[in-house]
Structure 1
Amino acid sequence: MARLAVNVDHVATVRQARLATEPDPVTAAALAELAGAQGIVVHLREDRRHIQDRDVEILRRTVKTRLNLEMAATAEMIETALRIKPDVVTLVPEKRQELTTEGGLDVVLYEEALAEAITRLHQGGISVSLFVNPDPKHVKTAAKIDADCVEIHTGLFAEAKTYAKRQEEFERIQDAAKLAAKIGLVVHAGHGVDYRNILWLRLIKEIEEFSIGHAIIARAVLVGMERAVKEMVALVQG
């Protein structure tokens, strides 16, 4: 049965819009766990546009499930992770001008640098996941450089405008998940997953965890964090 990890970045986005102290992503994370989330995800961006160092430091002390720190594979971020010691680091591509992460890492192109980052994080006792497109060459390279996990990018599936395109992207995700599991990688999935398309993705048995943020936070604005998380937990677990 798959797990739900809740990304609370967009709670911080609202806070930072006014450079205020509320709403607090730390409180949102606690409510998510009380509602049944089995992990908390935050993306500490280099420009600190939403999540701040303070948030990650407090979350490390308060999260009772698993803390997954998304970050770029830079020297600064690696040092931050080694200091904070999240349970999992997910290495993601990052561009200053993007609204949100737009695609998976090019694991083949950056194989050497990613391998070095993975080694350093492993030496610090941190499990490492790579955010990848549903592409066999990237999945295989992730295993080659000793990643523990891949998080499969589901964005093209989520954004598909036709049934045929959605089916095509679903099959790519399914094939990538099966391959990853076969070669010994833990499989996560995320990006654009919502209360409707999760009904497709939960059929892929190899996916052990879904990372979902925007859809849950958007619903929480209307119905509250605990109800929004409980509803998604029920859908993820079927």
Structure 2
Amino acid sequence: MLLGVNIDHVATLREARYSLLPESSNAEPSPMEAAIDAKEGGADSITIHVRGDRRHMQDRDAFEIAANCPLPLNLEMGVTDEMLELALKVKPEFVCLVPETREEVTTEGGLDVRGRLDEVLACVKALQEASIKVSLFIDPDLPQIEASAKTGAEMVELHTGCFANAGDDVVGLEVSRLIEASKTAHAAGIQVNAGHGINYANVARLFEVPHLAELNIGHTIVSRAMRVGFRNAVSEMKEAMSGYPD
């Protein structure tokens, strides 16, 4: 199981001080440096989300990381013409289509592929024509998986937020949802990834979910890095994931 490290919150910290001084030589921390540190810690890919309001990652970050980090870049983006234009310029290895609203603090819930099928289909087609592989960030619901299969996207990323926030009395039900969703997507020939709210404590519970190819994890790694450094935080997560059955 591979580890994609989301470094958005490195940019969040930078923007807290330097959003009005983007060209300042003092602007820190650097998402580019975090990407390199993640690689040194054992990351398999780097995930960033350039949002419509540019609240953390900026366009220049996407271009810099794509050009200078030797790991594959996974660009999360909303299904909009603006973001599609950016993706076609950046040319990341992967794009993950996500829902996006300005009111949310972070992405909450999966993309409604079923309800936006024509729109998502057109976006997937345009990205694939540019040789960019596409993932759809969806809730672990069978109708969304069925709709995702219709788009021709190579991957889905199962939203694990409900699992991560579930209490002890219901977490088993959320794991069961993920198991069923993963089996269904895998049977449809779709690569299965997962992400949102996964941390050092709960990651082992995901070992019950078959066919997971990659976990995309960010907040907990950035938080841990404040104590042990970025490379060590990534290395610790890789170690925590190492028990996933082949």
TM-score range, shorter chain: over 0.9
Shift of 1:222: 1.0
Shift of 1:62: 1.6
Shift of 1:109: 0.4
| Uncovered stretches (5+) of structure 1, i.e. residues with no partner | none
| 1:50 corresponding residue in structure 2 | 56
Please list the CA deviations of residues 117-170 of structure 1 after superposition, one character each: whole Å capped at 9, or x if unmatched. Answer: 000111111000000000011011101111110000000000012x23111001
| 2:226 corresponding residue in structure 1 | 221
| 1:15 corresponding residue in structure 2 | 14
| 2:159 corresponding residue in structure 1 | 153
| 1:6 corresponding residue in structure 2 | 5
How do residues 81-96 of structure 1 correspond to structure 2 at under 5 angstroms?
Answer: 81-96=87-102
| 2:38 corresponding residue in structure 1 | 32
Matching residue's letter, 1:230:
S
| 1:176 corresponding residue in structure 2 | 181
Distance 1:172 1:203 in 2: 11
Alpha carbons 2:162, 2:174 under 8 Å: kept: yes
| 1:77 corresponding residue in structure 2 | 83
Q: Paired residue for 2:194, among 189, 193, 197?
A: 189
Distance 2:40 2:210 in 1: 25
Alpha carbons 2:175, 2:208 under 8 Å: kept: no
**SS at 1:96's partner residue?**
coil
Shift of 1:237: 1.9
The more displaced of 67-76 and 55-64 is: 55-64
**SS at 1:202's partner residue?**
helix
Shift of 1:177: 0.7
| 1:113 corresponding residue in structure 2 | 119
Distance 1:63 1:180 in 2: 31
Deviating above 3 A after TM superposition, structure 1's stretches of 4 or more consecutive aligned residues are none
Shift of 1:202: 2.8
The more displaced of 105-114 and 17-26 is: 17-26
Please list the CA deviations of residues 23-77 of structure 1 after superposition, one character each: whole Å capped at 9, or x if unmatched. Answer: 0011001000011000100000000000011110010012212100000010010
The more displaced of 201-210 and 8-17 is: 201-210
Please list the CA deviations of residues 86-114 of structure 1 after superposition, one character each: whole Å capped at 9, or x if unmatched. Answer: 00000000010101001001111000000
Alpha carbons 1:127, 1:148 under 8 Å: kept: yes
Q: Paired residue for 1:143, among 149, 157, 163?
A: 149
| Uncovered stretches (5+) of structure 2, i.e. residues with no partner | 19-25
Residues paired across the two proteins, number:
236
Alpha carbons 2:175, 2:209 under 8 Å: kept: no
